[in-house]
Amino acid sequence: MDRKSVIILVACFILLMLWMPLVNRLFPPQHVTRPAGALTAAQSNLFTAPDSSNGTNHAAPSISMPTLAAQSWIRPSAPEELMTLENAVARYVFTSYGGGLKLVELRRYPESVGRAGRPPETTNRFATLNQAAPVPALSLFGGTTLEDSAPFRLVKTATGLRAEKDLTNGLRLVKDFHLGTNYSLSVAIRIENHSSRPVDLPVRELVVGTATPINRDDLGTALGVQWYDGVNASFINSAWFANRTLGCFPGTPRLQYDSPGASNVVWAAVHNQFFTMIAAPETNALRLLARRIELPPPTAEERQADPKAVAQPFGFEASLVYPPTMLAPGQAIERRLDLFAGPKEYNTLAKLPKNQDLAMNFSGFTGWLSKVLLLSMNGLHRHLHLSYGLCIISITIIIKVIFWPLTQASTRSMKRMQALQPQMKAIQAKYKDEPQKMNRKVMELYKENKVNPLGGCLPMLIQIPVLIGFYRMLQSAIELRGESFLWASDLSQPDTVAVVFGFPINPLPLLMGATQFWQARMTPASPSTDPVQQKMMQYMPLIFVFMLYNFASGLALYWMVQNLLSILQMKLTKTLPASPATPVPAQPAPAKRKK
């Protein structure tokens, strides 16, 4: 490759590294505030479905959706009262503001672990869910019929906690909370009509919770909302709300996600990278709403203590929506649900009854592979007591052993192609004016010598699904959070050891790129491959370094070990004799025709 090509390649690599920061600087994300009372066209024709939860059907008039929960909520002027329920795994903090769940503290998971480029922090705080959310989880909204400025009364009961509130129109709101096992909380929300007249209940939003960042440095790329309709799980994240053209250039930001039609919501969830809140109603909800909301920015003291703190954090609020109904005098309507608030740990979620393990986002054609890799990693850690770094290495070795015959056959095929190079050059010289015939003769030569020209691509094609499976698994594998290996303090984060002029130094992706260069140098090139294309393939590792540089260090560890094993296999295969190529007799070039 000439100097000009090298300069262009390096320039392209630098541009790739700076592309997203440059785009974000030139086209910063637009923060759109939706005016109170603004409704979408779909929301203006909401629900004519009956609500049969109380045993009767009432044709519901077409009414408009309430304003956003965070905007329509009148915060009480009275002092906030907090009350807690706790067990061995979680601490639930309830508030009189909205009679809901202010936050959940997970007692088995510290707030901070050893983060990239920083020493481990020691605090007495726990990882939280719904932290700093403007609206408490399990708040109920329905316009002036169900809302006023009075706070809820919080009362401890024999089995949990109750929040209740009497409205001036004769309605009473009662919420009962009972601690369960496996990070679960049982919830019953009841609306009682103690007046002497019927009351039309409007469309009601029950807030599932808000997806909030794990810490002050969390950019929110892993935040999202999920919901399951009994068949498929849908995932909504910041990219959906940003609605950028080609994923980069500014588009028209979406204000709100509204599940299509009568959605039959079996469960809905809000989540960050490692933790989730999943609300599974006893009777399926009809719709799910999700909104991007702004969270309180860090204080000046927090910014000084942590210069990398995100200046304007955000989250995603999700709500279950129920249709309007009429409540007769003396009648009550009740909604029950189970709330899971805990880690995205597959074995824990798999015990829940409504396929909540789909919240792991192991979907698509590599989803099953992600699940197998996660279970294998956990099995090695549990039964052999290996560190998670050694578990990743062990799984890589096992995968390499399984595909060893295929890789060996591919390498032998490429060696045979190299041995056939003189014959191929003779064919190319003889039929240079007849391309179709030349290609046919080359294919006949391959067939006679049992050479597959695509054989060298098979190992790479097999590695790609495994790489994607590892990536999907490591994205949410809480087992790797805070797990150290060599110099990496957290296998779920980049292995930054220093920052030079604002640029993080991550050794594992660099070592991965170096081993891939080494492997590319050793790989036999196909004689039919263009020399420029061969050189480009040798520099492909730069692209992979860029792709994996800021991913979980566990993924770079897998790819580096895989490269080293491939190099070892190639060295072993080179010691084996290649199958002799069928000689092609030299034939004189055809004589030129006389004109």
What is the average pLDDT across 461-470? 76
The more confidently predicted of residues 493 and 587 is 493
What is the average pLDDT across 534-548? 66
pLDDT of residue 179: 92
Say which range, 52-66, 168-182, 472-486, has the weakest mean pLDDT.
Answer: 52-66
pLDDT of residue 119: 44
The more confidently predicted of residues 58 and 293 is 293
The more confidently predicted of residues 428 and 594 is 428
Q: How many CB atoms lie within 10 A of CB 409?
A: 15
Ramachandran angles phi, psi of 423, nearest 5°: -65, -40
Rg (CA), the chain: 31
User: Which residue do the tokens 């927090």 mark?
Assistant: 302
Paired with 173 in beta bridges are 165, 191
Region for 259 from its dihedrals, namely left if φ exceeds 0, alpha if ψ lies in -120 to 50, beta otherwise = beta
Enter the pTM of the model. Answer: 0.76
User: Rounded to whole angstroms, how far apart are CA atoms 272 and 221?
Assistant: 9
Helix (H/G/I), strand (E/B), else coil: 309: coil
pLDDT of residue 261: 65
Lookup: tokens for 25: 């600087």
Burial of 74 (0-12, 13-18, 19+ CB in 10 A): exposed
- For residue 54, what pLDDT band results from cuts at 50, 70 and 90? very low
Say which range, 465-474, 506-515, 533-542, has the weakest mean pLDDT.
Answer: 533-542
pLDDT of residue 46: 38
Which H or E run contains 140?
A: strand 140-141
Of the candidates 275, 288, 268, the one whose C-alpha atom is nearest the C-alpha of residue 354 is: 268
- For residue 3, what pLDDT band results from cuts at 50, 70 and 90? low
Lookup: tokens for 492: 């779920």
pLDDT at 163 over 80: yes
Domains of the chain, earliest start first = 31-361 (2.70.98.90), 384-574 (no CATH)
What is the average pLDDT across 173-187? 92
Tens of pLDDT, residues 182-197: 899 999 999 999 998 9
pLDDT of residue 525: 54
Judging by DSSP bridges, how do beta strands 224-228 and 204-211 pair with one another? unpaired
- For residue 225, what pLDDT band results from cuts at 50, 70 and 90? very high
User: Which residue do the tokens 């009189």 mark?
Assistant: 96
- For residue 121, what pLDDT band results from cuts at 50, 70 and 90? very low
Helix (H/G/I), strand (E/B), else coil: 586: coil
User: Rounded to whole angstroms, how far apart are CA atoms 574 and 568?
Assistant: 10
- The distance between the two most distant Cα atoms of the chain, rounded to a whole number of Å, is 114
Which H or E run contains 171?
A: strand 171-179
pLDDT of residue 331: 92
Helix-then-strand count for the chain, H and E: 15, 22
Tens of pLDDT, residues 306-351: 777 888 889 999 999 988 889 999 999 999 999 999 999 888 898 9
pLDDT at 248 over 70: no
Ramachandran angles phi, psi of 341, nearest 5°: -135, 100
Region for 357 from its dihedrals, namely left if φ exceeds 0, alpha if ψ lies in -120 to 50, beta otherwise = alpha
pLDDT of residue 459: 62
Tens of pLDDT, residues 76-114: 888 899 999 999 899 999 999 989 999 999 988 887 776
